[in-house]
Each structure stands twice: as C-alpha cells, then as structure tokens.
C-alpha cells in the first residue's frame, strides 16, 4: 500500500478502509519506528507509515522499561486537562501544597466517598486534591446531585456533606458538570475516582486510595515524569 503523505492522511486512509464510521481525532509521529500513533475516539492505535498495519493495544519499550502507550495517553490527557480550569473544580488544598492531583469523582461512588473520608490526611501530607465532577450512568441522579453541590453557597461543605450521604437538594444554576463529564470521557476515563497528575499521568487506584502511597508515587513521578519520555 502506498503512503498517503502526512500522518493524518495516512491514518485516515487506513481507518477509512478498516472502520469508516470512526473519527480520527489526532494523528502524529510515534516513538515506535515506522508507525504513527492516533487517537480514535478514546482509543490509541498505531498505523504503519505505509498505511498497511493497524495495531491496537499497549506497546512496551523493553529496553527502557516504558509503556509507550501510557506515555501517549498521558500527553493526550494533559492537553485536555488544560480545558478544565479552576472555575470547574472543587479544591481541597493545604496552604503550601507540594503536589496537586485532579480527581474525577461521583458523589454516589462508594470508593470516591472512601477517598474523601481521608481528605484531611492527603492535605496534611502536602497533597492538594482538585475534584472534577464525572457522574456515572450507573448512578442515576448523580448528575442532579453534582449540580446541586456546585450550586451551593459553600461548595466544599456541600461536597463533603454529599460524600457523607446527606441530601443535596436539587438546586440548579450554570454549572460545568456536563462539560467535565464529556472531557473526562474524551480522555478515556470511565470510572471513579480517577486520579491524574498535572502532566496527565494516571495513578493506579490502589495507590491513590492511600495517602502515604500516593505521596510516594508523586515523589517518584516528580523525578521521572511519564510525559517527559
């Protein structure tokens, strides 16, 4: 198969033959020799530069001990995180945070509630937690509750109460819930709580749920950030 030219042209030509209904969002050079990488919906695929081969799945650089697919995902998530400004977050932070994480949350998610139960511990360790709403479809009404929390006069107090199971009421106002949910899905996030560093690196749930483990992981990533590769 002849090459189509630019990364976008090559990827679009290949995907048009393979799955004409899908939309290619990003196409660019890959760290894998002879391949481009592309975001197709929430999925990362690799397309050979001659347009013949499409690979779907994680690719690991054995020599470097690096998951190249996660590196690519982190870079894409970082670009989207920029769109979620401070005006779309509920922040619990110490006076002088050492680290900041974004946590996609759902007020009816049991694990999200367990995470927030320890928010004082995260803050005491110097970790600022910036919550972004992502109500899940499996929790009917979570979107209404999220909106009510956002519209409260004291959002942090309302959030903490909601995480304790309190009735949120049904207050409405202009709010970012639908937008942040859409952006989360664009990043391939489909569960809560999902914890991301500022460079888009996803923290393993088992690590994020422990304040001490999260602190250690953030210190490790500070020395060797995934997106730097």
Entry pTM: 0.80
Largest CA distance in the chain: 62
What distance in Å separates the CA atoms of residue 51 and residue 152, rounded to the nearest whole number?
53
Q: How would you write the pLDDT of the chain (229 residues) with one tens digit per residue?
A: 445 578 888 988 988 888 888 888 888 888 888 998 888 876 788 899 999 998 887 888 788 777 888 888 888 899 899 999 999 999 999 999 999 999 999 999 999 999 999 999 999 999 999 999 999 999 999 999 999 999 999 999 999 999 999 999 989 999 999 999 999 998 889 899 999 999 999 999 999 999 999 999 999 999 877 665 5
Length of the chain: 229
What pLDDT is stored for residue 229 in this prediction? 56
What's the pLDDT at 18? 85
The residues spanned by each domain of the chain are 7-69, 86-224
Q: In CATH, which superfamily holds the domain spanning 86-224?
A: Glutaredoxin (3.40.30.10)
Nearest residue to 75 (alpha-carbon basis) of 111, 115, 26: 26
Q: CB–CB of 1/51 below 8 Å?
A: yes
Class of domain 7-69: alpha beta
Residue 165: what pLDDT?
94
Q: What is the pLDDT of residue 23?
A: 84
pLDDT of residue 61: 79
Helix axis angle, 110-117 to 155-163, nearest 10°: 120
**What is the reported pLDDT for 186?**
87
Phi and psi, residue 9, nearest 5°: -65, -45
Can you give the pLDDT at residue 199? Answer: 92
∠42-46-52 over CA atoms, to 5°? 130
CB 38 within 8 A of CB 47: yes
The pLDDT assigned to 228 comes to 58
């Amino acid at each position: 198969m002849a090459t189509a030219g630019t990364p976008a042209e090559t990827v679009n030509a290949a995907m048009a033959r393979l799955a004409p209904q899908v939309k290619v969002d990003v196409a660019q050079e890959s760290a894998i020799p002879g391949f481009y990488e592309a975001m197709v919906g929430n999925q990362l695929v690799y397309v050979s530069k001659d347009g013949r081969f499409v690979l779907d799945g994680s690719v690991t650089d054995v020599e470097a001990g690096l998951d190249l697919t996660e590196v690519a995902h982190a870079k894409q998530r970082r670009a989207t995180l920029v769109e979620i400004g401070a005006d779309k977050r509920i922040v619990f932070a110490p006076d002088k945070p050492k680290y900041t994480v974004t946590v996609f949350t759902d007020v009816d998610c049991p694990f999200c509630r367990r995470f927030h139960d320890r928010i004082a511990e995260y803050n005491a360790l110097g970790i600022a937690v910036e919550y972004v709403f992502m109500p899940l479809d499996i929790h009917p009404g979570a979107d209404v509750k999220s909106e009510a929390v956002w519209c409260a006069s004291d959002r942090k107090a309302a959030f903490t109460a909601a995480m304790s199971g309190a009735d949120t009421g049904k207050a409405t106002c202009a709010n970012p819930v639908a937008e942040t949910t859409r952006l989360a899905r664009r990043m391939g996030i489909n569960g809560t709580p999902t914890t991301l560093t500022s460079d888009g690196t996803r923290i393993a749930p088992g690590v994020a749920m422990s304040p001490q483990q999260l602190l250690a992981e953030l210190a490790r990533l500070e020395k060797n950030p995934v997106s730097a590769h």
